[in-house]
A and B are shown apart, each in its own frame.
Chain A
């Protein structure tokens, strides 16, 4: 293959996986914003999105319906998770919620294994034709779906947080819980809503990636870690940071596994995470918190 088209090919692949990481990173960021905690159940919601889509596709043979229903179901699971595990905490704090989320992740994984089985599942891409040839490179149509729907979702999130009173209430509660309560925001509801959004983003990522990679119950931890690395890379808590971090990580993986070795693909995320924690803990777009006392 021609060097130029190899680079283009890698670029497309990197943007595709990068979009998936951006969706997962957004989930980390939204929950972090509202609780200050890292939600390590995020990766399990990706798996649920893929596996429930596959189950519904097997019975309905309607891929759009199956994926939409799966994303909605997982969002409800996100809400239930918050109500069952976070809401009952008498004195919630960031560390406690983070620890509890690890337990939630392990329980979710076991439940998925028991209910949906251990076998990897999949379904065809959203379009009939699976590959397009453009300018000498092959693009999987599913990659276009991934990038397109990720953009739509992120844009919708941007509009929600910047232009609706509910979105502003979420930001206000993230900035100062007490002051948000003073103006009448029910802070527990904003936490629940942030879990719903995070689960929605995760499930969407799972439903989109499954046609390319299949989906199995034990992938959650890796998805979670990739999304976490992307969130840290972009700047935890920052919504544009999720996009920048996700794409940067996707591209690094694509180019790294081509030019170094595909054996290192997963190691790249961890190397990036370590490097960013050493060099710039606030992330590319994050800034150190300025606290005025």
Chain B
């Protein structure tokens, strides 16, 4: 459903991504592993319409979308769970979820939004308990749930997740990844960027290895997990 070819992007005169190409099939779960600063966040920001690439092609279901903004990406069913969660700290949990559905509430109101909010509350009962609290008072794990919940409120078909394990306790990381696998099992396409290669390769079917803005390997996750070079560089084995 997502095809990227020869993507080049950067900030000002600094080029970060050098001719990146990747594919995510419908319902597939794909991960990108690599060290800090390898270009994972830059890539996801391009895909989410937050950063304009200088060259290349991004297509969703065959339609070119490279010039679009974040709003048009959302209309195409692409949503981003950003690095560091980035919840709206002074706003309540419920308001954060409403904001996730912003494109479906403005300018035209989608009647399905309340039902989707109930679905998010079913998925994360902790959020239902705390729906009137300011998001800034939640724990890190709860904020990550909220960030995923907010992304779900846009009714996406492809969810981009940037470092969902960052700064979280191992138990909480397990829960978050279980949720990601569950969403994938229910049909959501997933593109996940992670430093925690171990967790990422366990939950994705296909993996790309990124280093200095280029993909250096890509293969089935199982194959990558047992690759000696990947093991040594990213799995700490």
B88 sits at the interface (CB 8 A):
yes
B80 within 8 A of A: yes
Q: Is B99 located at the chain interface by the 8 A CB criterion?
A: yes
Within the complex, the shortest CB–CB distance from A278 to chain B, in Å, comes to: 26
Residue in B70, B88, B136 whose beta carbon sits within 8 Å of that of A181 in the complex:
B70
The answer on a CB contact under 8 Å between B86 and A183 is no
Give per-residue flags for A91-117: 1 if the beta carbon is below 8 A from chain B beta carbons, else 0: 000000000000000000000000000
Q: Tell me if B219 counts as interface (CB < 8 A to partner A).
A: no
Asked if A165 and B106 sit within 8 Å, CB to CB, the answer is yes
A182 and B80 contact, CB distance less than 8 A: yes
- Residue B179 lies at the interface, judged by CB distance under 8 Å to chain A: no
Select which of B69, B70, B89, B91 is within 8 A of A168 by beta carbon: B91
Q: In the complex, which range does the number of interface residues on chain A fall in?
A: 10 to 19
Residues of B close to A176: CB separation below 8 A: 86-89
Given the complex, which residues of B lie within 8 Å of A290, measured CB to CB? 136
B50 and A183 within 8 A (CB): no
Report which of A168, A171, A183 forms a contact with B74, defined as CB distance below 8 A. Answer: A183
A186-B69 Cα distance, complex, nearest whole Å: 9
Q: Confirm or deny: B123 has a beta carbon within 8 angstroms of a beta carbon on chain A.
A: no
**Cβ A184 vs Cβ B98 within 8 A:** no
User: By the criterion of a CB under 8 Å from any partner CB, how many residues of chain B are at the interface?
Assistant: 26
A180: B residues at CB distance < 8 A: 88, 99
**Complex formed: what's the CA distance from A182 to B41 in Å?**
13
B165 within 8 A of A: no
Residue with the greatest number of chain A CB neighbours at <10 A, chosen from B70, B79, B154: B70
> B86, A292: Cβ atoms under 8 Å?
no
Q: Does chain A have a CB within 8 A of B164?
A: no
**Bound form: Cα–Cα A184–B151 in Å:** 11
- A172-B103 in contact given A178-B82, A179-B82, A290-B136 (Cβ < 8 Å): no
Out of A169, A175, A178, A292, name the residue touching B102 (CB < 8 Å): A169
Inter-chain contact A178/B86, CB cutoff 8 Å: yes
Residues on A with C-beta less than 8 A from B95 are 168, 171-172
In the complex, A181 Cα to B79 Cα: how many Å? 11
* B184, chain A: closest CB distance, angstroms: 21
Q: Is B48 an interface residue (CB 8 A)?
A: yes
Chain B residues with Cβ under 8 A from A184's Cβ? 70-71, 74, 102-103, 154
Residues of A within 8 A of B98 (CB): 165, 168
Nearest B residue (CB) for A179: B86
Contacts of B74 in A (CB 8 A): 183-184
In the bound complex, CA of A183 to CA of B48 (Å): 10
B105 within 8 A of A: yes
- A166 vs B82: C-alpha distance in the bound complex, in angstroms? 22
Residues of B within 8 A of A72 (CB): none
- Mask for B80-122, Cβ within 8 A of A = 1, else 0? 1010001111110001001110110110000000000000000
Are A185 and B88 within 8 A (Cβ)?
no
A186 to B72, CA, bound (A): 11
Known contacts A182-B70, A183-B99, A184-B154; A171 and B88 CB within 8 A of each other? yes
List chain A residues, Cβ under 8 A from B79. 182
Residues of A within 8 A of B57 (CB): none
**In this complex, which of A179, A181, A185 has the most chain B Cβ atoms within 10 angstroms of its Cβ?**
A179
Cα(A179)–Cα(B154), bound, Å: 14
**B89:A183 contact, CB within 8 angstroms:** no
| Known A168-B91, A175-B88, A292-B136: A181·B154 in contact at CB below 8 Å | no
A178 to B87, CA, bound (A): 10
- Report the bound CA distance from A189 to B111 in whole Å: 25
Contacting residues, chain B, for A292 (C-beta < 8 A): 89, 136
The answer for the CA separation of A179 and B95 in the assembled complex, in Å, is 13
Q: Which of A166, A176, A183 has the most CB of B within 10 A?
A: A183
CB distance from B166 to the nearest CB of A (A): 12
- Per a CB cutoff under 8 Å, which of B70, B91, B103, B105 touches A171? B91
C-beta contact mask, A161-177 vs B, less than 8 Å → 1, else 0? 00001101101100110
A182: min CB distance to chain B, Å: 5
Check if B87 sits within 8 Å of A179, measured CB to CB: yes
Which chain A residue shows the least CB distance to B140?
A292
**Interface contact B136-A183, CB-CB below 8 Å:** no
Interface membership of B155, Cβ < 8 A: no
10 contacts across the A-B interface (CB closer than 8 A): A171-B88, A172-B88, A172-B99, A175-B89, A179-B87, A181-B70, A183-B154, A184-B70, A292-B89, A292-B136
Q: List 6 extra interface pairs beyond A172-B102, A184-B70, CB under 8 A.
A: A168-B95, A168-B98, A168-B99, A178-B50, A179-B86, A183-B70
User: 4 closest pairs, A vs B, by CB?
Assistant: A179-B86, A184-B103, A184-B71, A175-B88
